[in-house]
Amino acid sequence: MNRTINGDGQLVIGGIPAQEIAEAYGTPVYVYDVERIRENARAFVQTFEQQKVPAQVAYASKAFSSVAMLQVAKEEGLSLDVVSEGELHTALKAEFPVEKIHMHGNNKSLAELQMAVDARIGCIVVDNFYEIALLSELVEQNNSTMDVLLRVTPGIEAHTHDYILTGQEDSKFGFDLSSGQAEKAFSLLHNNERLHVKGLHCHIGSQIFEASGFTLATRKLFTTMKEWRNKFQFIAEVLNLGGGFGIRYTEEDDPLSLDQYALALINEVKQQSADSAYPLPEIWIEPGRAIVGDAGLTLYTLGAIKEIPGIRTYVSVDGGMTDNIRPALYQAKYDAVLANRMNDKSSKDYAIAGKCCESGDMLLWDVELPEVEHNDLLAVFSTGAYGYSMANNYNRFGKAAVVFVENGTHQLVVRREKFDEITRLDLSYTKQKELK
């Protein structure tokens, strides 16, 4: 994120002091540096261009989906990965080019598949046998066709949190390669004249730091592609290697740069193609976190301070697991600063608590800050991915606002949810008469 400190000791994001954003929109507020989103997108896109490899960089919109975000993704020439009617609806609202939209999901409903077929999206990533049956019936009834990728689990155990591992055999996602399920699924799709198999897909997990998991998965997929070339005379036009590229949340994290991830994939695909005289497939990737994660931060106002002598000092913020569930769900770690007093010396350790009725609603267990005061402004960094998109209304808190900063200007792109909007879906109860 493009951030500096001004003469008043204020954190400045994309040319705007954090305090100004907090005063204009209130807290908690997610702030995105649009320039950083663009830099991240370009790091991937330009690496493929420089290496002269045909590619699609599909932004995994689950990381942060909003109309404004998808407009930026469109401007950067990205493709888009959606996993639900809601994400597809957002894409259509943003007038995202439909042919560049790919749909995922391990339990796509008939309504979701119908919406995808009606919208004529670019392709569906087929995940299971039930989906093959639904989709086959749907294209038959609609007298239409659809491009598909086959999602396979290559049997890779990447190094990340168990909850965000997806490439291992024991996974709810995709067809298992080793048991022959993937081949069975492939032949069903291959024999269906209305479904065109463009290629294979795998996604080994999320927040992955080493290139080795990706290159190993690439090799496994090539082994299968070579088998199917011999057996079915099938040549994959596309090899989608998913997302999962890790980012730095704290100093403990040591990810590769985005171009290094892309280069590792490109080199492996080129090598495998050359070794087996396999026509170079188009490489598709699906980064979510790597596009938006470090482009976003969250601003909070500090409230209650509770010092437990000899144990720790809790400082509560005006948000918490409702705007960032990742610490509670994955024990995810973050870094934070006092955005209104950047030049003050850090002197004390604090535990930053959310305001939900849960002891586990902690944003950071241990962060060194200057002596805090009520109403100080706390900035938690790298909350751009899976923050707003996983936000919830626990304890009936409204969702926080989202602000974009760019070229010294700020704009609201998602309005704060007001408490009286929390009941907008609620219907009154009418006492039913007892049946005699």
Ligand X SMILES: Cc1ncc(COP(=O)(O)O)c(C=O)c1O
Ligand Y SMILES: N[C@@H](CCCC[NH3+])C(=O)O
The binding site consists of 244, 286-289, 326, 330, 358, 386
The amino acid sitting at 29 is: V
- Of 214 and 350, which CB lies nearer to ligand X in the complex structure? 214
326 binds, among ligand Y, ligand X, none (CB under 5 to 8 A by kind): ligand Y
- Of 286 and 376, which CB lies nearer to ligand X in the complex structure? 286
Q: Does 211 bind ligand X (CB under 6 A)?
A: no
| Rounded-to-integer distance, Cα 76 and Cα 78, Å | 6
Long-range CB contacts for residues 164-173, cutoff 8 Å, separation at least 24: 164/205, 164/206, 164/207, 164/330, 165/204, 165/205, 166/203, 166/204, 166/205, 166/206, 167/202, 167/203, 167/204, 167/205, 167/213, 167/217, 172/106, 173/106, 173/127, 173/203
81, 112, 318, 361: residue in contact with ligand X (rule CB under 6 A): 81
281 binds, among ligand X, ligand Y, none (CB under 5 to 8 A by kind): none
Tell me which residue of 26, 5, 27 sits closest to 16, measured CA to CA: 5
Site for ligand X in 142-171 (CB under 6 A): 166
- Report the first-to-last Cα separation within the chain, whole angstroms: 68
Q: Does 115 bind ligand X (CB under 6 A)?
A: no
| Rounded-to-integer distance, Cα 116 and Cα 144, Å | 12
Q: Does 376 bind ligand X (CB under 6 A)?
A: no
Q: What's the closest the beta carbon of residue 245 comes to ligand X, in angstroms? A: 6
30, 59, 186, 245: residue in contact with ligand X (rule CB under 6 A): 245
Among the residue ranges 239-247, 254-262, 263-271, 366-374, the one whose residues contact ligand X (CB under 6 A): 239-247
Residue 312 Cα distances to 142, 301, 346, angstroms: 63, 20, 16
202 noted as active-site residue = no
Q: What's the closest the beta carbon of residue 83 comes to ligand X, in angstroms? A: 8
Catalytic pick among 123, 202, 356, 357: 357
- Of 80 and 378, which CB lies nearer to ligand X in the complex structure? 80
Residues annotated in a binding site for pyridoxal 5'-phosphate: 244, 286-289, 386
Site for ligand X in 263-292 (CB under 6 A): 286-290
Residue 62 Cα distances to 83, 368, 384, 390, angstroms: 7, 32, 11, 9
Tell me which residue of 375, 413, 394, 389 sits closest to 320, measured CA to CA: 394
242 binds, among ligand X, ligand Y, none (CB under 5 to 8 A by kind): ligand X
197 binds, among ligand Y, ligand X, none (CB under 5 to 8 A by kind): none
How many residues interact with ligand X (rule CB under 6 A)?
A: 17
Q: Does 44 bind ligand X (CB under 6 A)?
A: no
- Give DSSP secondary structure letters for 36-69: HHHHHHHHHHHHHHHTT--EEEEEEGGGS--HHH
Q: What's the closest the beta carbon of residue 246 comes to ligand X, in angstroms? A: 8
Tell me which residue of 55, 104, 81, 80 sits closest to 265, measured CA to CA: 55
Give the number of residues written for the chain. 436
| Rounded-to-integer distance, Cα 259 and Cα 77, Å | 17
Residue with CB nearest ligand Y? Answer: 386
81 binds, among ligand X, ligand Y, none (CB under 5 to 8 A by kind): ligand X
Radius of gyration of the chain measured on its C-alpha atoms = 24
Q: Does 384 bind ligand X (CB under 6 A)?
A: no
Q: What's the closest the beta carbon of residue 81 comes to ligand X, in angstroms? A: 6
Q: What's the closest the beta carbon of residue 321 comes to ligand Y, in angstroms? A: 13
Q: Residue numbers of the site for ligand Y (CB under 6 A)?
A: 62, 164, 206-207, 326, 330, 386
Contact 199, 236 (CB under 8 A): yes
Site for ligand X in 165-204 (CB under 6 A): 166, 203
- Which residues are annotated as catalytic? 357
